Chains A and B, each alone.
Chain A
Amino acid sequence: MTTLSPPTMAGRPAAPPPRKRSTRRRSWVGWGFIAPFMVVFALVFLAPIAYSIYLSLFREQMVGGTSFVGLDNYQRAFDDPKFWEALGRVSLFLVIQVPIMLGIALLVALAIDSGRLYGKNFFRIAIFMPYAVPAVVATLMWGFIYGSRFGLVGNINDTFNVSLPNPLSPDLVLASIGNIVTWEFVGYNMLIFYAALRVIPHSLYEAAEIDGASQLRMITAIKLPAIRGALVIATIFSIIGSFQLFNEPSILQNLAPNAITTYFTPNLFTYSLSFSGQQHNYAATVAILMGLLTMVVAYVVQLRGMRKEA
């Protein structure tokens, strides 16, 4: 996890070899070698993207059939309040849930790595365990806990005669989903951080101890800088995960149909567009926009995260 720095440029010949007439022949040989890869790459990666872009340039109507509309679908997405609402919601989710989740994961990783924790193997497994639970099952489970009528929340209300706010109400449902996602992924991120912490040479700690550094100082001066790469990669994964939020709201929708709209997240929006609304073209457009946006945000985070390392 620490090998994230780009491949070094060292070793490249200072000047290109002199051109010869045989260049053309050699290039064909080269293509021959990478052809198997290129075929698979084109088929598996490029073709679906190209097809989505192709789809996004058309519009199919129940009355009037299919017509080429150029970039109309993109224009429509930019003007679509549902799209912006969905995007705004996952952005809010990203800004609040991701720091909380990564913060907890980091704290746990540091605690386990500190070597002062009793039963650290147990904690490591126990905290990682939720990640092994399929998201669908996890969401169902939390859905039952959240139920204010027959769920745990309902039981607490009845037993203690209190009235907790309904976690599945429109105001709280996003926070409830954030809680599920945090529960699911803290262990996963903890493991990334922990693996990165393990490869820090112990001599650094010994040196710091001799210098009289406190534990806190060791964390800020040694551990955190050393796992910067892992932090960045976990952040990027989480950003992608947030923008792709789908399973949790989609399943909770059955329990809270009025709190989770069909355009709750961009993914849910594309799903309902294409499967309930037969608007495949517009769905492809939204998917492409979201893909681009995710790439841009992830790239910016990576640039920012890696810059200081250089």
Chain B
Amino acid sequence: MTKTARRALRGVGLATVVALGLTACGSDDGGSGDAGASADEVTQALEEGGEITVWAWEPTLGQVVEDFQAEYPNVKVNLVNAGTANDQYTALQNAMQAGSGVPDVAQIEYYAMGQFSLNESITDLSGFGAGELADSYSPGPWSAVQANDGIYGLPMDSGPMALYYNKDLFDEYGIEVPTTWDEYLQAARDLHEANPNAYMTNDTGDGGFATSMIWQAGGRPYQVDGTEVGIDFSDEGSTRFIDLWQQMLDEDLLAPITSWSDEWFQGMGDGTIASLATGAWMPANLESSLPDGAGSWRVAPLPQWDENAPASAENGGSALTIPDASSKKELAYGFLQYANAGDGVATRLENGAFPATTADLNSEEFLSTEFEYFGGQRANEVFAESAANVADDWSYLPFQVYANSIFNDTAGKAYVSNTTLAEGLAQWQDASRRYGEEQGFTITD
């Protein structure tokens, strides 16, 4: 799911929303821990100026940097694209190891934050008063930046999940939009029966997707407490997802098309793939890669396991962090605040980012945006509701990047052989545990 990270959501046309106050008011908490600064000190650093380097691939940051420099003329920001997702993490890790060339600010996806916060190679922002921003962010992203009682970044965007579906195709075969996963399964059967070339969705095994689905189903396979890690895919929530997806696999209801391939967009265009359950950053990708789908597609809430207790999950999204090796943390924090909690948020929304800030998620202007692509639908209402329903007690592994990279080695077998998904996930669990042990973690059962 590395590509989920690059969100070029140009579609979310958004006007100005004055976001949160720039200054956190905790002037008297003199910086707990080894790093920290009061709001005054941050402001002072911004006035004094200096130069900081920002590593990020998020396209909307370019404008933010320009505005930021206009507001604080003494500050010079070098925005560097050091690669997307994994490439950047590798570069970052190498720089941290070498102890030189480390940026002052780095973009890191939520699922990858663990491996940086674990050894504190990124800064705990509690000392800067980041804790007071808790209510400013929706629960999913906020919980994602926290680890070991620290706050290791400020959420930049989020990816609450929704169901994107091809309304024309649904109408053609008389399929109702499913509100529960049972209905979803039935709809998948009906659709495939009506047209053997049409599939409810595609999947060839994707760790990012599977974990998000388990998250929504209430499964909590990962228990992380510092260096103690538990991995267990046999809990009730995980089993719910496994059972559903096993049925989808057994009955051949999943198009064997890999997400983000050419075939994928073709499949969505020609009616092979009827729907997608994915993050709120998807619209821009649809607009750019599937322009012909305009008017045909709609957004619906993610199907539910329990209609009375709506739940959702995050898929993708990233935060801005401050590497521990940075020598200009006050300045860097000033930038973080501006970009992810201050005026920068509005700028990024204008350019199509999906916010993590509750003020924006709840603003009338944001919610009432009509998406031409979705036939004038107010899709943000669906996304915002999903964001509010995300359970915030999920955690990723401190080595999730590696774990996801071996998903297809293990669980992927269920997609191409007689191995069941439960067996596949059990193998994934074993392989992840083994890696954890090799890396010095204590694996609990």
Contacts and interface: CB of A to CB of B under 8 A. Distances in A.
Task: Tell me, yes or no, whether A binds B.
Answer: yes
A64 interface: yes
Contacts of A147: 263
B86 interface: yes
Interface in A145-161: 147, 149-150
B416 interface: yes
B288 interface: no
Contacts of B175: none
A277 B86 CA distance: 11
A257 B409 CA distance: 8
B417 A62 contact: no
Interface residues of B, number: 37
Interface string A270-295: 00100111110000000000000000
Contact of A62 (B90, B118, B256, B413): B118
A276 B441 contact: no
B86 A64 contact: no
Contacts of A258: 204-205, 408, 412-413, 415-416
Contact of A275 (B90, B258, B412): B90
A8 interface: no
Contacts of B93: 278
Interface string B261-292: 11100110000100000000000000000000
- What size tier do the contact residues of chain A reach? 20 to 34
Nearest to A257: B408
Given A149-B256, A170-B417, A276-B405, A257 B204 contact: yes
A203 interface: no
B406 interface: yes
A63 B115 CA distance: 10
Nearest to A154: B263
B118 A276 contact: no
Given A63-B118, A261-B408, A263-B409, A255 B440 contact: no
A64 B440 CA distance: 6
A63 B416 contact: no
A121 interface: no
B435 interface: yes
B439 interface: yes
Contacts of B171: none
Given A149-B257, A149-B272, A276-B406, 14 more contacts: A62-B399, A62-B439, A63-B227, A63-B441, A170-B416, A254-B258, A254-B261, A255-B258, A257-B408, A257-B412, A258-B415, A261-B408, A278-B115, A279-B438
Interface of A: 61-64, 147, 149-150, 169-170, 254-255, 257-259, 261-263, 272, 275-279
